[in-house]
């Protein structure tokens, strides 16, 4: 008996629910991965960082499996065709996978399920990427929460130790099918296949214990850098919570934000495209293309904003403080639609997580769940003074700051502040 275990955003062999469940059936399990040129979240014509991250993580996994004589198949194609074909080739009775939650990924999984069932193969999905799914944490009326704090209280009250157990979700290597590693040639992968430098998964207790004090200072490297690993599954969310539990309460809460935004995506799907709070759909954005371009290139003449955008463009990562500053600047100071910024981040971020990205953007734009109120507008200069007091982060990314090459500010910040206040007020009192 053979079962296919379809890897997606869970690129690890231990603490992996679907893999453990597949092995429990007693069948031999073959891990498979399909690079989908039209993937709903990571298409080939989109971000190179994410595809390169996956390729690197898969190569590492394949190396480990090859050493044990175990098989893995990595291929390229449309999963709705490729998965049933692989099932047929290996005479698999079932395909197991961990659930995805983005609306377009959910639709793709439904299509794959349909195709498999037509061929007499069952498709079983499991909860793995989150501790609680969207429908599991609800208020006394059985409704989803619209603000974070009561959600997080209920989340904590609902948790029991088993939900963070990684051991129970770890299959033994012996459950895997013996056989070759099948990997596509780089030529079949029409994206930049230069290996991505996977940041190490930080597990040092000392670093994590200081998280609350260091997390807001971009020059200190004081955050976990777990986001890319959580996004692609090289780190299990259960392990992340276990590490946070041992070290820092603030870190624990940040991980619940991730769960909160997954819930919002699931229960309020309108907010993936439009304002969470619908009255903000009336905002009249300026959407000036030249200003947008200057923002994307890190040439706004506001050093902290430019530093953040250049970090993103160069590394596929941006520190959280800078995500807040650059997003606030785009929406409130330049009056550009948060969806433009969201799409730009989606293209560039290696950790692009649709739920958290939309959540973060709507927070910054003042249109989201716990949004920053519209009248709180980040002043880029005071943000820089407070969070980068020695200018270390800015100097790293904007070395030409004090030369003639550095652009003049593209807007008058003070005037833009008033303009934003007026525009938001207009939207709320049409
Ligand atoms: P840490 O500070 O070390 O946090 C640990 C983990 O907690 C993170 O890896 C993440 O999983 C979670 N977390 C922390 N803060 C948040 C938050 N505000 N919302 C949700 N989860 C959080 N995060 C993404 O993973 N993908 C995105 O696409 C993304 N887009 C964002 C866009 C904007 C405009 C904003 C303001 C925030 C966005 N975030 C996003 C949240 C946050 O900025 C990143 O998770 C964080 O910077 C990643 O670095 P880290 O792993 O070192 O974070």
Which residues are 75's β-sheet partners?
34
Q: What is the pTM of this model?
A: 0.97
Q: Is 320 a catalytic residue?
A: yes
Atom 43 of ligand 1, residue of closest alpha carbon? 320
- Counting beta carbons within 10 angstroms of the beta carbon of residue 135, is it exposed (0 to 12), middle (13 to 18) or buried (19 or more)? exposed
Ligand 1: which of 215, 254, 340, 358 to mutate, most ligand atoms within 8 Å of CB?
254
The pLDDT tens digits along the chain (430 residues) read 999 999 999 999 999 999 999 999 999 999 999 999 999 999 998 778 899 999 999 999 999 999 999 999 999 999 999 999 999 999 999 999 999 999 999 999 999 999 999 999 999 999 999 999 999 999 999 999 999 999 999 999 999 999 999 999 999 999 999 999 999 998 899 888 887 888 889 999 999 999 999 999 999 989 999 999 999 999 999 999 999 999 999 999 999 999 999 999 999 999 999 999 999 999 999 999 999 999 999 999 999 999 999 999 999 999 999 999 999 999 999 999 999 999 999 999 999 999 999 999 999 999 999 877 888 899 999 999 999 999 999 999 999 999 999 999 999 999 999 999 999 999 998 8
- Count CB-CB contacts under 10 A for residue 420: 21
- Counting beta carbons within 10 angstroms of the beta carbon of residue 68, is it exposed (0 to 12), middle (13 to 18) or buried (19 or more)? exposed
CA–CA separation, 99 vs 358, rounded Å? 20
344 lines ligand 1 (CB under 6 A): no
356 lines ligand 1 (CB under 6 A): yes
Angle made by CA atoms 176, 243, 316, in degrees to the nearest 5: 80
Which residues are 126's β-sheet partners?
98
CA–CA separation, 336 vs 192, rounded Å? 31
The secondary structure element, H or E, covering residue 182 is strand 181-182
- Per the annotation, binding residues for FAD are 211, 223-227, 254-261
Which residue is catalytic, options 155, 252, 295, 338?
338
- List of domains in the chain: 1-128 (3.40.50.620), 130-164+204-267 (1.25.40.80), 278-428 (1.10.579.10)
- For 67-121, the DSSP string reads HTTB-EEEEES-HHHHHHHHHHHTT-SEEEEE---SHHHHHHHHHHHHHHHHTT-
Q: Is 295 a catalytic residue?
A: no
- Per the annotation, binding residues are 211, 223-227, 254-261
Among residues 399, 383, 407, which one has the least CA distance to residue 218? Answer: 383
CB neighbours of 229 closer than 8 A, spacing ≥ 6? 198, 199, 201, 235
Which residue is catalytic, options 254, 311, 342, 353?
254
User: What ipTM goes with this model?
Assistant: 0.99
Q: Is 387 a catalytic residue?
A: no
Among residues 55, 49, 325, 332, which one has the least CA distance to residue 186? Answer: 55
């Amino acid at each position: 008996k053979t079962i296919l275990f379809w890897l997606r955003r869970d690129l690890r062999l231990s603490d992996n629910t679907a893999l453990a469940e597949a092995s429990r059936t007693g069948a031999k399990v073959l891990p498979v991965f399909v690079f989908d040129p039209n993937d709903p979240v990571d298409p080939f014509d989109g971000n190179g960082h994410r595809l390169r991250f996956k390729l690197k993580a898969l190569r590492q996994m394949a190396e480990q499996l090859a050493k044990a004589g175990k098989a893995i198949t990595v291929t390229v194609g449309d999963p709705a065709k490729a998965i049933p074909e692989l099932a047929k080739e290996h005479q698999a009775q079932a395909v197991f996978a961990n659930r995805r939650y983005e609306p377009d990924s959910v639709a793709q999984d439904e299509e794959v399920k349909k195709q498999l069932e037509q061929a007499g193969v069952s498709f079983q999905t499991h909860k793995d990427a989150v501790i609680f799914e969207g429908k599991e944490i609800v208020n006394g009326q059985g409704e989803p929460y619209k603000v974070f704090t009561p959600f997080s209280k209920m989340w904590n009250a609902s948790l029991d130790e088993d939900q963070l157990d990684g051991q129970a979700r770890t299959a033994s290597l012996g459950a895997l099918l013996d056989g070759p590693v099948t990997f596509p040639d780089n030529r079949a992968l029409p994206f930049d296949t230069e290996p991505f430098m996977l940041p190490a998964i930080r597990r040092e207790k000392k670093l994590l214990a200081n998280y609350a004090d260091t997390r807001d200072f971009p020059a200190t490297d004081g955050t976990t850098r777990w986001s890319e690993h959580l996004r692609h599954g090289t780190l299990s969310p259960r392990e992340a919570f276990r590490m946070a539990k041992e070290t820092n309460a603030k870190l624990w809460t940040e991980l619940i934000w991730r769960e909160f935004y997954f819930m919002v995506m699931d229960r309020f799907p309108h907010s993936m495209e439009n304002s969470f709070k619908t009255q903000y759909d009336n905002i009249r954005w300026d959407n000036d293309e030249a200003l947008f371009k200057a923002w994307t290139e890190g040439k706004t003449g506001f050093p902290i904003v430019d530093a953040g955008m250049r970090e993103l463009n160069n590394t596929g990562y941006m520190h959280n403080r800078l995500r807040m500053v650059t997003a606030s600047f785009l929406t409130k100071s330049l009056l550009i639609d948060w969806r433009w910024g969201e799409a730009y981040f989606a293209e560039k971020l290696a950790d692009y997580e649709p739920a958290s990205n939309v959540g973060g953007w709507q927070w910054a734009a003042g249109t989201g769940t716990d949004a920053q109120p519209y009248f709180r507008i980040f002043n880029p200069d005071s943000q820089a003074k407070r969070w980068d007091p020695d200018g270390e982060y800015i100097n790293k990314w904007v070395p030409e700051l004090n030369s003639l090459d550095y652009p003049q500010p593209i807007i008058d910040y003070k005037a833009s502040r008033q303009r934003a206040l007026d525009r938001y007020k207009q939207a709320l009192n049409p």
